[in-house]
Amino acid sequence: MIAFDGITNDTALKILNAPTPEKVLENYNSPYQLSKEQINSYKENGFISLKNVLTGEALTHAQRVIEAAVLIRKEKDKRTLSEKSQYEQSFLQCGYLCWDFLAVKDFVFGKRFAGIARDLMQASGARLWHDQALFKEPHGRVTDAHQDISYWPINEGGFTITMWLALNDVPKEKGCLYFYPGSHKLGNKEYVDIFKNPHQPEVVKGIEKTFTPINAGDATFHSGLTFHGAGQNVSDEMREGMTVIYLADGATFDSSDERNATHKSCVGLKDGDKIDTQYTPRLI
Ligand SMILES: O=C(O)CCC(=O)C(=O)O
């Protein structure tokens, strides 16, 4: 059973139903300036770690709201870590929170984060693909290395990017992310079944991993083409990560892989259609 300081099942709903303070909204929507070096570094490596993407009251607020949402989603799950599947031992995964909780929507729709995504992808605009909280429980196992695009029905892998924002400090021992620099240049390569039967991807053998320990409010951004994973959480604390995944405006639907074609964000689309559905609004 999971628990967060100062939040009960009753207060969780109150937290989620309260309007987001004006100052927090301003922070969620204020621009974040990237340098040319940062944009080039992302282009070269396929990922980047950025400081202070969220700070102060906005960070405290986002943490509380997302903890409350995770608590509500997981309140009925009384299993201990060892009773869960191998995949579930990597993280508590709570997706599409923004469509259930307005307070989370305010965060997920923030133009600050979407603006970073757009600028790193050098796109004309950024759409929402989906959001998901990824909390790694104390002593949760590694996240096996994989490439996100292999799970998504999208033709253009380079038109996808994930923000992974730390809601609390995430040093290496708490299971920070690692990336294989430059692996996005290998293209759409290898499906790893992280759900049931993971293997170490062949294509990144020989590439050294870069671990990205980050503090609360910092974030990493990685391309859907970049191979990555996360270490084990050997600490006694929950690792709290919130992700938002963006598409460059213009990304198109790929129905060719049956494993992915039923993705909720693409319902109603035909092969090759521009991804523009009720779940993928243009955010910036
Ligand atoms: O949070 C994790 O452990 C893995 C994150 C990840 O694979 C992703 O955000 O694409």
**pLDDT value at 62 more than 80:** yes
Mean pLDDT of the chain: 96
Q: State both tokens at 70.
A: 């995770």
Cα of 226 vs centre of ligand 1, distance in Å, is: 11
Q: What's the rounded mean pLDDT across residues 120-147? A: 97
In CATH, the number for domain 9-266 is 2.60.120.620
Q: What's the rounded mean pLDDT across residues 3-12? A: 92
For residue 258, what pLDDT band results from cuts at 50, 70 and 90?
confident
Q: What's the rounded mean pLDDT across residues 231-259? A: 95
Closest atom of ligand 1 relative to the 90 alpha carbon: 3
Kindly list the protein residues whose Cβ atom lies closer than 6 A to any atom of ligand 1. Answer: 91, 134, 136, 143, 148, 162, 164, 177, 228, 230, 241, 243
pLDDT, tens only, 162-192: 999 999 999 999 999 999 999 999 988 788 8
Residue 162: φ, ψ to 5° = -115, 130
The preferred substitution site among 135, 139, 143 for testing ligand 1, maximizing ligand atoms within 8 Å of CB, is 143
**Per-residue CA distances from 17 to 45, 132, 153 (Å):** 40, 19, 33
**pLDDT value at 1 more than 90:** no
pLDDT at residue number 262: 78
Nearest CA to ligand 1 atom 10: 148
Give the closest residue to 35 by CA, choosing from 58, 51, 56.
51
For residue 263, what pLDDT band results from cuts at 50, 70 and 90?
confident
The pTM assigned to this predicted structure is 0.97
Closest atom of ligand 1 relative to the 243 alpha carbon: 9
Residue type, 162: T
Q: What's the rounded mean pLDDT across residues 239-246? A: 98
Q: What's the rounded mean pLDDT across residues 53-64? A: 98
Q: What's the rounded mean pLDDT across residues 220-246? A: 98
Nearest CA to ligand 1 atom 6: 229
**pLDDT value at 244 more than 80:** yes
The preferred substitution site among 144, 228, 239, 244 for testing ligand 1, maximizing ligand atoms within 8 Å of CB, is 228
Nearest CA to ligand 1 atom 1: 134
pLDDT at residue number 253: 95
Give the closest residue to 15 by CA, choosing from 116, 106, 139.
106
Q: What is the dihedral sign for C-alpha 32, 156, 220, 68?
A: positive
Q: What's the rounded mean pLDDT across residues 124-145? A: 97
Cα of 22 vs centre of ligand 1, distance in Å, is: 30
Percent of the chain with pLDDT over 70: 100
